[in-house]
Amino acid sequence: MGKYIQRASLAVLLASLPLSAEEVRVAVATNFIDVMTQLSRQFEAETGHKVILSSGATGKLYAQVKNKAPFDAFFSADEARPLLLEQEGVAVPGSRFTYALGKLVLWSPDPDYIDEDQSALREQRFRFLSIANPATAPYGRAAREVLEHLGLWHQVRTQTVRGENIGQAYQYVYSGNAQLGFVAKAQVYRQGEYADGSYWQVPDALYSPIIQQAVLLKDTEAARALLDHVRSPQAIELIESYGYGAEAGAPIARHLH
């Protein structure tokens, strides 16, 4: 009887999967790779399709897409590159949407380093400050805007170490090569709690909104299904658990045209 139930369960599972599983190749901004890995596992379990992820700085991924890298979808850390791809005729028309609103955090693994006044930053009591490259990474651009707003950009430029992407910027701080750094909130936040250390969640008013958009590059059934999954309530709950935000008039799953 037990073997019969197992066979029947397997038959039901197989019947629910597509007749031909497809691969979906996705370019994803570094800040979102942990979330996208979990979303991909959910999607693979539900559909039988396989997701292959490639992460990096948004600017570099955009250049790869323009050079005809074989991606089916692009999850950017900004809205500018997906819009450009749409305007340039590279992206599938009407597929662009906002999947997350990024948040910037000043973080140190030292629990006593960052206080409410950010005195270590303002008084430059550090050897190195880590940021992502402002030229290619939206979180790096946001970090520069914060430092400019605080009147510190020119003073700290010689003390900054710049990661190629926000993942590398985080690693510089995590490893101790930099005493503090501007990182994505998603890198140091899970289920309502920050990682060990000290932090300052930068007020939204100090930098341009980090509107993270995705776009379809190849119009396949599997790629469309993946983007639909990312817009599902289950996915939105996971995305928000990593500290990504949504603002009035710009919900996470809003379509933009």
Q: Indicate whether 97 and 113 sit together in one domain.
A: no
DSSP assignment letter at 186? G
Q: Which domain holds residue 62?
A: 2-101+209-241
Q: Indicate whether 110 and 93 sit together in one domain.
A: no
What are the DSSP E strand ranges found in 117-232? 129-132, 160-163, 180-184, 189-190, 193-194, 198-201, 210-216
Q: Is residue 252 part of a domain?
A: no
What are the DSSP E strand ranges found in the chain? 23-29, 50-56, 73-75, 97-102, 104-108, 129-132, 160-163, 180-184, 189-190, 193-194, 198-201, 210-216
pLDDT at 225 > cutoff 90: yes
Q: Is residue 249 part of a domain?
A: no
Q: Indicate whether 163 and 234 sit together in one domain.
A: no
Spell out the residues 6+ positions from residue 183 whose beta carbon is closer than 8 angstroms to its own: 104, 105, 106, 107, 130, 139, 166, 169, 170, 173
In tens, the pLDDT along 67-121 reads 999 999 999 999 999 999 999 999 999 999 999 999 999 999 999 999 999 999 9
Q: Is residue 246 part of a domain?
A: no
Q: Indicate whether 95 and 150 sit together in one domain.
A: no
Q: Is residue 38 part of a domain?
A: yes
Spell out the residues 6+ positions from residue 7 whose beta carbon is closer than 8 angstroms to its own: none
In tens, the pLDDT along 136-148 reads 899 999 999 999 9
254 confidence band (pLDDT: 50, 70, 90): very low
Torsion of CA 90, 94, 96, 97, to 10 degrees: 180
Strand, helix or coil at 56?
strand
Q: Indicate whether 115 and 184 sit together in one domain.
A: yes
pLDDT for 104 equals: 97
Q: Give the chain's domain count.
A: 2
CATH number where 220 lies: 3.40.190.10
Q: Which amino acids are annotated as binding site for molybdate, given as ranges?
A: 58, 166
Angle at 19 between CA 14 and CA 24, to 5 degrees: 105
- Going by their DSSP bridges, the two strands 104-108 and 198-201 should be labelled as antiparallel
In tens, the pLDDT along 162-216 reads 999 999 999 999 999 999 999 999 999 998 899 999 999 999 999 999 999 999 9
Tokens describing residue 5: 């139930």
Tokens describing residue 106: 């000043």
pLDDT at 156 > cutoff 60: yes
pLDDT for 30 equals: 93
Q: Is residue 253 part of a domain?
A: no
Q: Indicate whether 94 and 17 sit together in one domain.
A: yes
| 155 close to 134: Cβ distance less than 8 angstroms | no
Q: Is residue 257 part of a domain?
A: no
Residue found by looking up tokens 């469309």 in the block: 224
pLDDT for 21 equals: 82
Q: Indicate whether 197 and 214 sit together in one domain.
A: no
Q: Indicate whether 57 and 112 sit together in one domain.
A: no
Q: Indicate whether 194 and 108 sit together in one domain.
A: yes
Query: How far apart, in whole angstroms, are the C-alpha atoms of residue 48 and residue 139?
Result: 34
Share above pLDDT 70 across residues of the chain, in percent, rounded to a whole number: 88
Spell out the residues 6+ positions from residue 36 whose beta carbon is closer than 8 angstroms to its own: 26, 28, 53, 55, 75
Q: Indicate whether 60 and 9 sit together in one domain.
A: yes
Q: Indicate whether 96 and 122 sit together in one domain.
A: no
In tens, the pLDDT along 26-46 reads 999 999 999 999 999 999 999
Q: Is residue 247 part of a domain?
A: no
pLDDT for 246 equals: 65
Q: Which amino acids are annotated as binding site, given as ranges?
A: 58, 166
Q: Indicate whether 92 and 169 sit together in one domain.
A: no
Query: How far apart, in whole angstroms, are the C-alpha atoms of residue 28 and residue 58?
Result: 8
Q: Is residue 254 part of a domain?
A: no
